[in-house]
Chains A and B, each alone.
Chain A
Amino acid sequence: MEGSVGYDNDLNLKATELRLGLPGTEPVSIVRRNKRSLQQVADDDCGVNGCKSDDQNETAPPPPKAQIVGWPPIRSYRKNNIQTKKNESEGGGIYVKVSMDGAPYLRKIDLKVYSGYPELLQAIENMFKFTIGEYSEREGYKGSDYAPTYEDKDGDWMLVGDVPWEMFITSCKRLRIMKGSEARGLGRGV
């Protein structure tokens, strides 16, 4: 009989004696036939180690993960419900991700829902529980450590509020609430 673990004709309990260390015989190699990637702890997965979005990782989106069959353990009808909801809404709205430096989570908002900058900024303030400063064309956002910025179609990072609203919602790809000196140093777009 092949195999690295020898079996007699009955269950040889002595042979299957368990110890804390690895058994003397070589372990059976585990061949994984289902494709999946085992995420390492060190990955910049915001949900595990806190967000690292305040550095250059921000512009490169994380690689798409291979989906593991049957994980997370959710019934198909629940998955279908969520999917339908997504598809339905994706058709109509302008969805952009909103991140805030230091916050361990992202949000997605529909820009179409807001009628202008004041409403949008109010919503973001509520979402992340902070205050944005007073906006002025010359000096940007004063009175707060944070400044709302967005990435436009050309990949440039702009201060929210610099361009007319209609232009903003068509060119905004994602929003980021910047903190600290980076926020203060941000020049305004042309």
Chain B
Amino acid sequence: MQKEMAYSFPDEVLKHVFSFIQSDKDRNAVSLVCKSWYEIERWCRRKVFIGNCYAVSPRMVIRRFPEVRSIELKGKPHFADFNLVPDGWGGYVLQWIAEMAGAYPWLGEIRLKRMVVTDESLELIAKSFKNFKVLVLFSCEGFSTDGLAAIAASCKNLRELDLRESEVDDLSGHWLAQFPETCTSLVSLNISCLGSDEVSFSALERLVDRCPNLRSLQLNRAVTLDKIANILRRAPQLVDFGTGNYAAELQPDVFSNLAGAFSSCKELKSLSGFWDVVPAYLPALYSICPRLTSLNLSYATIQSPDLIKLVSHCPRLQRLLFLIQVLDYVEDSGLEELASSCKDLQELRVFPSDPFGVEPNVSLTEQGLVAVSLGCPKLQSVLYFCRRMSNAALVTIAQNCPNLTRFRLCIIEPKTPDYLTLEPLDAGFGAIVEHCKDLRRLSLSGLLTDHVFEYIGTYGKKLEMLSVAFAGDSDLGLHHVLSGCESLRKLEIRDCPFGDKALLANAAKLETMRSLWMSSCAVSFGACKLLGQKMPKLNVEVIDETEPPDSRPESYPVDKLYIYRSVAGPRFDMPPFVWSMDEAVKILH
């Protein structure tokens, strides 16, 4: 009798309580308590995140969650970023939009990553959702400025339009003029990816003028330096700003105008853009440097001395700077300066300026990263490209920064050993996983044997994503990871001697992960078929652009393999070079 009372809250009360629960994990847990909680929860879930668009079908999502207002979808595997996934692989959003158009008239937010978005999809969005507010297309492709024009014209209350890192067919700059005069709701606009064709600047100015809530604006490279002041004066409330081009002949009046415009932006905390930097214009930023928490100079090909000047001539910069992204022109000396000034640094990304050069063109080595690890105890996230590394350095970094959650190191030449001892870097990366107990993401490089995977399997208990290239000796390496890493969700591997044994022995593990990518490894076609047969909840897809995998012996290794769990069964939009190992589909393909 008493037990029943505990569950006899009216639905409205439970619904109200659940409305405070935002995280997907918690909501999923809530839905498992009992049938009635499952029912109540599913009717009041407003936000859905789908990490793999092929893991579930639109219909299934709609059936379970009928009142969704916000959806986030991810498509292609991460290695698509590096051209390892052929064009036409998939990740089309159109069917999702089409089904949601009917089912979710109040859908307000769509966030997509690595998906193919056509103009047709954009036009459908514009037509179907009267309350559309947020469109984020992160690393997407397949659309043109025509599709953007449809969005601009129809979405009367658009708050966010973010096209970061997407590939857009830039047909005309006039799409911006399609925003009606009545549109004053923009809060965030990121057009940094647009090509060098002119964006209609006057339309942009007018838009910025009439949107008093605009907080985040990223311009594209076509916008010249002299125009920045115009924009900033119209939007002094900006918090996050991406310049276009930052190059012009030094003219005192342009400089003072720019400096004045920057200083009038009292809320500005984050800067990016900076294509083609002319160092003489950097001092225009000095007035806002003390407030900056995030600085992205990763397109700025300025030399170390200018970078050092920028970082060090801003007396209070150290207290606020959190994220810095630079090219390796910053060099060890620049990083040492950074380490002494920016004590609150949490995230550092250093990209290579000359990734394909045979000889190093800048003096950036492991020393820079060691210096930052020593000087910035709050460091959590690292992405670092360099040309040499040592176990000693990695051990030092691990000991200095036990709070690291993301560590991605790319030593540019594959299989590079410890430059001091010529040994593999197993011990160094082992120290990273051992000391950094909250490490969630790790990318390896350099010369590595199976031992590093033993460390990872032993210590990497919170590791969710692991990227491996040109590493390991045998299946034992892969086995260590699959059997040891309890939290593993995404594993991507290229050019490693991992084959059938570890994969088949750990087949069940794959159902607990989002996905596994293996390319240029040693997994045989036969093993893929076996996995496909035995694991119905996995989609096992073989990618081969040269010839069908069954035209060769079964022991032959497949070129690329993508395995992901799914409740939707095999997909039907596979291109000719993708083969599903699902028995049923194989016959039809």
Contact = CB atoms under 8 A, between A and B. Distances in A.
Nearest to A62: B358
A138 interface: no
A30 B82 contact: no
A62 B362 CA distance: 18
Contact of A3 (B497, B501, B553): B553
Given A11-B534, A13-B505, A47-B388, A73 B559 contact: no
Given A20-B476, A39-B413, A82-B354, A76 B83 contact: yes
A1 to B, nearest CB: 7
Contact of A48 (B413, B474, B522, B559): B413
Interface stretch (A63-71, A114-122, A164-172): A63-71
A4 B555 contact: yes
B464 to A, nearest CB: 18
A79 B354 CA distance: 9
Taking chain A's interface residues, is the majority helix, strand, or loop, or is none over half, making it mixed?
Answer: loop
Interface stretch (B4-12, B153-161, B310-318, B415-423): B415-423
Given A4-B555, A7-B530, A41-B422, A69 B84 contact: yes
Contacts of A18: 475-476, 479, 501-502, 505
Contact of B414 (A3, A38, A62, A126): A38
Taking chain B's interface residues, is the majority helix, strand, or loop, or is none over half, making it mixed?
Answer: loop
A75 B81 contact: yes
A126 B305 CA distance: 10
Counting chain B CB atoms within 10 Å of each CB, which of A34, A49, A71, A77 scores highest? A71
Contacts, number: 159
A2 interface: yes
A72 B361 contact: no
Contacts of A73: 81-82, 410, 443, 467, 469
B387 interface: yes
A41 B165 CA distance: 36
Given A23-B501, A64-B358, A70 B474 contact: no
Interface stretch (A99-107, A148-156, A175-183): A99-107
B363 interface: yes
A16 interface: yes
B381 interface: no
A49 B422 CA distance: 9
Interface string B486-497: 000000001001
Contact of A65 (B81, B358, B415, B522): B358
A16 B494 contact: no
A62 to B, nearest CB: 5
Contacts of A13: 505
Interface string B467-510: 10100001110010000000000000010010111101101000
Nearest to B501: A16
B361 A105 contact: yes
Contacts of A70: 79, 82-84, 494
B356 interface: yes
B322 interface: no
Contact of A47 (B79, B413, B479, B520): B413
Contacts of B497: 30
B556 interface: yes
Nearest to B357: A106
A60 interface: no
A13 B520 CA distance: 25
Interface in A51-95: 62, 64-65, 67-79, 81-82, 85
Contacts of A5: 500-501, 524, 555
B359 interface: yes
Contacts of B474: 22
A74 B499 CA distance: 27
Counting chain B CB atoms within 10 Å of each CB, which of A16, A67, A73 scores highest? A73
Q: Number of contact residues on B: which range applies?
A: 35 or more
Interface in A25-48: 27-28, 30-34, 38-39, 41, 45-48
Interface residues of A, number: 57
B403 interface: no
B175 to A, nearest CB: 20
Contacts of A33: 520, 546, 559
Given A11-B507, A33-B546, A68 B414 contact: yes
B520 A34 contact: yes
B51 interface: no
B377 interface: no
A34 B502 CA distance: 24
B355 A74 contact: yes
Contacts of B475: 18
B296 to A, nearest CB: 12
Nearest to B79: A70
B393 interface: no
A163 to B, nearest CB: 27
Given A46-B359, A47-B387, A77-B193, A28 B414 contact: no
Given A73-B81, A105-B362, A3 B554 contact: yes
Interface string B444-478: 00010000000000000000000101000011100
Nearest to A103: B363
Contact of B556 (A27, A31, A105): A31
Contacts of B414: 38-39, 68, 71
B351 interface: yes
B275 interface: yes
Nearest to A11: B504
Counting chain B CB atoms within 10 Å of each CB, which of A2, A28, A31, A126 scores highest? A28
A48 B530 CA distance: 43
Contacts of B469: 71, 73
Contacts of B520: 32-34
B84 A67 contact: no
Nearest to B506: A16
Given A27-B499, A77-B167, A85-B301, 4 more contacts: A18-B475, A48-B419, A72-B355, A81-B275
Interface of B: 79, 81-84, 165, 167, 193, 275-276, 298-299, 301, 305, 351-356, 358-363, 365, 385, 387-388, 410, 412-417, 419, 422, 443, 447, 467, 469, 474-476, 479, 494, 497, 499-502, 504-505, 507, 520-522, 524, 526-527, 530, 534, 546, 553-557, 559
4 closest cross-chain pairs (CB), A and B: A47-B387, A3-B555, A70-B82, A47-B360
15 contacts: A11-B504, A18-B476, A33-B546, A41-B447, A46-B359, A48-B416, A62-B359, A70-B82, A70-B83, A71-B414, A73-B410, A74-B352, A77-B165, A81-B275, A105-B361
